[in-house]
Amino acid sequence: MAGVSTSTVSNVLNNPDVVSSATRHRVEEAMVQVGYVRNSAARQLRGAPSVIVGCVLLDSANPFFAEVARGMEDRLAEAGCMPIVCSTDIRLGREARYLRMLEELGVRGVLLSPVGSRLDAAVELARRGTPVVLVDHPRAGLPLCAAAVDNMRGGELAVEHLLARGHRRIAFIRCAAEVRTVDDRGEGIRHALRTAGLDIARTLVEVRTPQPAGLDEADRAVDAVLAAVPRPTAIICFNDMAAVGVMRGLRRHSVVVPDEISIVGYDNVIFASQLSPALTTVRQPTHRLGRAAAELLLAEAEPGHRHREIRFTPELVVRASTAVRPDGVG
């Protein structure tokens, strides 16, 4: 020890009030002199909780998840924690690998936007002692916490809006990969159609875009939509990026939006309002979703903790890409 003492230093760091302020100052001074840096590995080995939280998302570069991750980061920072951000690209193998690595790291917990709906790996991980919070996925009775958006409701909102505008022939463009959120939106779409007394087989056209489901793939999916007989008068897209691709595809076919075909996106990315036409879409509270997930995870450390779900409700943002059904169609 530079000053005089030995592991009084430990107390200076962990129980500052137990040390006389004189020696405390002396020790603190010595620490900056020597350039002392705490060693997290040793602390953790000794049993201290890790400050690291794993965030395993489908794709951190996707604007939706990027904002969710930022919400997580902000809440974690308040608690002195930091996120490790991983993208699975909807690949189960990568998810498993990341979960394994995070477990070995002894992270405080994992915020997981799961690939499929077989959550055995997540449940097992939690059972072994690493808390897991599901993000953007319903709790589904599992012994885990979850922060989710009501995607069924999101699908319903889109359909209700289109039905009110007179549309009776609607396409749903979705990604080929099995993603729970997208499935739920599809479920909501069908539910709303049934509720309106419509025959799904005759009103709904589902088109899947190949992976990676980006702008170009959605552009090409337009061909299939336009080939459907009778031709849909409205298209619901599984996210805003796809909606942009669809707009491009329709332009390619010289189909005017919204005069001939209406479009509804999903996510309300920041550019949605500046597209031409401005995109009608479903807004999700991304930042708050991320915060909530982090909140749930941090709460797992508390004594009488019980698993719970925080569920957000999406909102329809009506803009210029949807109009009343053109006469004589559908």
Q: For a copy of itself, which residue of 175, 275, 298, 310 counts as binding (CB under 8 A)?
A: 275
Give the shortest CB-14-to-DNA separation in angstroms: 5
Cα 11 from Cα 24, distance rounded (Å): 9
DSSP string, 195-264: HTT--HHHHEEEEEEPSS-SHHHHHHHHHHHHHSSSPPSEEEESSHHHHHHHHHHHHHTT--TTTT-EEE
Give the shortest CB-235-to-a copy of itself separation in angstroms: 15
| Residue 28 touches a copy of itself, criterion: CB under 8 A | no
| Residue 69 touches a copy of itself, criterion: CB under 8 A | yes
Count of residues that interact with a copy of itself, criterion CB under 8 A: 47
Give the shortest CB-101-to-DNA separation in angstroms: 14
- Can you give the binding site for DNA, defined by CB under 7 A? 4-8, 10-11, 13-14, 18-20, 22-24, 37-39, 42-43, 45-48
Radius of gyration of the chain (CA): 25
75-134 binders of a copy of itself (CB under 8 A): 77, 80, 82-87, 98, 101-106, 128
Select from 8-16, 60-68, 111-119, 252-260 the region that touches a copy of itself (CB under 8 A): 60-68
Q: For a copy of itself, which residue of 32, 37, 201, 229 counts as binding (CB under 8 A)?
A: 37
Tell me if 287 sits within 8 A of 330, measured CB to CB. no
Is 103 or 187 the residue whose CB approaches a copy of itself more closely?
Answer: 103
Four-point Cα dihedral 224, 230, 234, 235, nearest 10? -20
Please state, in angstroms and as integers, the Cα–Cα distance from residue 324 to each residue in 230, 249, 260, 262, 321, following that order: 17, 21, 9, 8, 10
Cα 123 from Cα 304, distance rounded (Å): 20
Cα 123 from Cα 210, distance rounded (Å): 30
Is 36 or 312 the residue whose CB approaches DNA more closely?
Answer: 36
| Residue 209 touches a copy of itself, criterion: CB under 8 A | no
Is 24 or 307 the residue whose CB approaches DNA more closely?
Answer: 24
Q: Which candidate, 2, 22, 27, places its Cα nearest to that of 12? A: 27
Angle 292-294-296 from CA coordinates, rounded to 5°: 70
Is 28 or 183 the residue whose CB approaches a copy of itself more closely?
Answer: 28
Residues that bind a copy of itself (CB under 8 A): 35, 37-42, 44-45, 51-52, 59-61, 63, 66-67, 69-70, 73, 77, 80, 82-87, 98, 101-106, 128, 215, 241, 244, 247-248, 269-271, 274-276
